[in-house]
Amino acid sequence: MTVQCGCCGADITSTDRIDYRLNRPEQLIGVPAEQLGAPTGGLLVGPDGDSYLRCLLPVRLTGGVELVFGAWMQISKVDAMYAHAVWDNDAEYANLHVSGKFANVIQPWDLLGVPVEAAVLNTDELPYFTSHPALEQEWDRDEVLCRIRQPLPIPVRETLGEVWTIERSAGMRCVVEDHTVCFSSPDRWVGLDVYADRTGGSPSDFLGAVLDGYPASAEHSVEHNGDELRHAFWLSEVIDGQEEQVFHGHVVRRGVMLSVRCVHRYPADRAWAQHVLNSVRYVG
């Protein structure tokens, strides 16, 4: 499967370095483009003359993954004029060193406005942050990457309803539609819903109530593992005029259920849908 960059649309082939470009500084989000100045590809000037420099922030994640943010720092007008003057002169650009304030919100950190520094490490690239709180340690991969809703070149584990986790496959976008969490790519779709049972009944009773109305002739599988019940079945359904393969999966514990619905067009993706269900973990 081809994974495309959520920023520029280019195919992503590397899985040990992920580049993620932040579009604007927080203070300039929503400002009409005609009110902004862009003297170079790495400088941005707001309507009040406030100046920003785009720099690279390489964050180390567990599992040997590096997430490189293309993020903004607010700098003085003097530094902005100097950066503009040396931008196309490699000898002088190589000595560029600036300080300022971090100008983006990135989760899971609270870093907007913190003092930062940046310097040119390679004349073929933007300056790199050399002093920044996120550089100080290695961070949990899933905790950081689950905040990025654009397609990623590697799978990431998402948390649902505070008690479930599930793997979002590589190349899938994450959105929330009403109360349903959705993963999507051109030929695949996953819908996830968390349900609570207030009746105090058994997992089997809970599952039976949810399945009421589904065809009994479907290909069902049921697995009991201690306090947990896993159930799945397949249907062919016509969706938007196309016949699609639909996998319905349920992981049930007393009082709570995660419903997984996988839609795909190609029979070869059947193993993928089963993998999605198998990746569900109860962490409550």
Give the pairing of strands 17-21 and 188-196: unpaired
Supply the CATH number for residue 241's domain: 3.40.1000.10
Q: How confident is the model at residue 189 (pLDDT cuts 50, 70, 90)?
A: very high
Where a domain ends, among 135, 168, 190?
A: 135
Query: Is there a domain that residue 21 lies in?
Result: yes
17-21 vs 65-75, strand pairing mode: parallel
pLDDT in tens, 9-30: 555 555 789 999 999 999 999 9
Q: What is the pLDDT of residue 2?
A: 45
Are 274 and 174 contained in the same domain?
Answer: yes
Domain span at residue 241? Answer: 155-282
- State what percent of residues in the chain have pLDDT above 90: 76
Q: How many domains does the chain have?
A: 2
Query: For residue range 220-263, what is the model confidence (pLDDT) as tens digits?
Result: 888 998 899 999 998 877 777 777 889 999 999 999 999 999 99
Residue 130 lies in a domain: yes
DSSP string for residues in 173-235: EEEEETTEEEEEETTEEEEEEEEE--S---HHHHHHHHHTTS-TTSEEEEEEETTEEEEEEEE
In a domain, 141, yes or no: no
Q: Does pLDDT of 6 surpass 80?
A: no
Contact between residue 36 and residue 46 where contact means Cβ atoms under 8 Å apart:
yes
Which one, of 126, 6, 110, 120, lies nearest residue 54 by Cα? Answer: 126
Q: Which of 16, 14, 135 is nearest to 71 (CA)?
A: 135
Tell me the pLDDT of the chain averaged across its residues: 91
| pLDDT-above-70 percentage for the chain | 94
Q: Are residues 19 and 115 in the same domain?
A: yes
Q: Is the pLDDT of residue 203 over 50?
A: yes
- Within a domain: 150: no
Please report whether residue 185 resides in a domain.
yes
pLDDT beyond 90 at 101:
yes
Residues 122 and 10 in one domain: yes
Residue 276 belongs to a domain:
yes
pTM attached to this predicted model: 0.86
